A and B are shown apart, each in its own frame.
Chain A
Amino acid sequence: MDSQGLSSYFRFSDVNWPNMWEATWETIWMTVVSVAIVAVLGLLLGLLLYETAGSNKPAVKVLNWIVALFVNVFRSIPFIILIVLLLPVTQVLVGAITGAKAAIPSLVISAAPFYARLVEIAFHEVDGGVIEAADAMGATKWQIVYKVLIPESLPALVSGLTVTAISLIGYTAMAGAIGAGGLGQLAYTDGFQSYNNAITLVATAVIVIIVFIFQYIGDFSVRKIDKR
């Protein structure tokens, strides 16, 4: 039997559907959990970058420099290397180095700095006049953050999160190749390594559908919130 021929892609009888389902859910679970953590962490980091930017105080300058360095370093490390690099950390945090749960720390650490930059940019695009108006009305710093900065930049925050989520889906597949489970692992071990091209094709199609769904949800939410 020719396992490399084009027709091999369409031998759907070879596909183990319950396994496919399970892998799909693992991918979705990894994505949703890591997106949720990245949203919170990225928002905090982004806020820290925004608030510490352009200050004259030495202490604040140093803080901004440290945060920026952290963000830039982790954004530069290729994901496949990062996941290996973080194996001991994952062991400590999760108690395992394989499985969907074990993928979360590296997914978060690679995506949070990326999202933090997007958050910072979104905050910088909020109309300075509106912030000054709130300031002139006697708002505290914290009130300006949650009553002005976040609501006024919400469409950019959401579309940034959508972009982040979609790259996270890609990362889960990479993590899958070294044992995180999900569609990536299925496509790699059951598909590629077992000469079962139909599984690889179906796994790809499912990933594409998941990406489309995330994009759709993101675009829809942005349209809903944007009243400009």
Chain B
Amino acid sequence: MIELKNVSKTFETANGKVEAVKNVELTVDAGEIFGIVGFSGAGKSTLVRMLNGLETPTSGEVIINDVRIDTLKGKDLREQRKKIGIIFQHFNLLWSRTVLENIEFPLELIGMPKAERETKAKHLAELVGLGERINAYPSQLSGGQKQRVGIARALANDPDILISDEATSALDPQTTDEVLDLLDEINQKLDLTIVIITHEMHVIRRLADRVAVMENGRVIEQGPVSEVFTHPQEELTKRFVSSEVELPQTTDVKQIAQKLLQKNPTGKLVELRFSGQQVERPVINELSKNFPELEISILEGSIHQLADKGTLGSLFVQLNGTEQKVQAALEFLNELQVEAKVIEHG
């Protein structure tokens, strides 16, 4: 559906050339949610702006539904843009218009008669859960509600593609999840292709089917979300994944770990990583059955569901026993294909 072929973009600035995007190859399939993750300045915004011609590549091709976008101009380009909905970090609503009028905006651009566009806008307001607030002005809405208006407006032209440009980055965690749920619902209901750019791995985990990781203008890694989460290859990807999956080592955990280590100086603090099938296995039970003389203390654990139905779990435990026994236990975990990482030695 979307194809980027060896796309590069160089900006000429006063301080010389800036290569914002370098040799990017990407394919997004119809109906999928594709995530692009990276820190700010990684080139993801520039990349995504090429999808609707707000930016033209210096070299390479941008193809959407077999149409080359990067060479379109004038009326053809405007017509193409109407097929792509876009939602923004700062919502970009018109403060001078009510919710309903904001949703009607793209329909006015195509000259749809008033009665017709009102009906359609009302329907869209219902879809995003703002049916009650159609006469409110943006200044009277919360951030989450504003983004819902943004989503409804982006959907008004029945686009094939929805681009989300850091759409949840200005929202609090709970509102973020609500908006993500809405995007997920829309993806399924309307069979829409969604391209999400974000710096939050959380968004990718919750929503995306496939993900591309960008750094310094390049796509350094891409693949299905469950694969990238369980077996990240690049250093940056590992950092992104662990920022989302790994437990934040709170002071509480550290204190208790310290105490346990003082009590059992020979013990080892181990982080266990589960993915896929292992999540449902009684690993700790098997461990204690096989090593009855080993003491196991559980410190903290968590489990994460990935958008493409993969699962990821992690557990902090302390293993207390003789050196050989602990070593044997770690080997046993390895056999079970549970990743075990010793964090602090006693």
Which residues of chain A have a CB within 8 Å of any CB of chain B?
127, 129-130, 132-140, 143, 147-148, 151-152, 154, 225, 227-228
Contact = CB atoms under 8 A, between A and B. Distances in A.
Contacts of B54: 132, 135-136
A129 B90 contact: yes
B240 interface: no
Contact of A228 (B81, B86, B139): B139
Interface of B: 52, 54, 77-82, 84, 86, 88, 90, 92-97, 105-106, 108-110, 137-139, 157
B292 to A, nearest CB: 64
- With most chain B CB atoms within 10 A of its CB, the pick from A137, A139, A152, A154 is A137
Contacts of B137: 227
A136 B163 CA distance: 11
Contacts of A148: 94
A138 to B, nearest CB: 4
Q: Describe A's contact surface by its main secondary structure.
A: helix
Nearest to B51: A136
A136 B86 contact: yes
A152 B95 CA distance: 7
Given A129-B88, A143-B109, A152-B94, A138 B139 contact: no
A140 B326 CA distance: 70
Contacts of A151: 94, 96-97
Contacts of A154: 96
B96 A136 contact: no
Contacts of A130: 92-94
A227 B95 contact: yes
Contact of A137 (B81, B138, B139): B81
A224 to B, nearest CB: 12
A133 B54 CA distance: 10
A136 B95 contact: no
- 5 closest Cβ contacts across the A-B interface? A138-B81, A133-B92, A138-B78, A129-B92, A227-B137
A184 to B, nearest CB: 38
B219 to A, nearest CB: 23
Given A129-B88, A130-B94, A147 B108 contact: yes
A196 B109 CA distance: 62
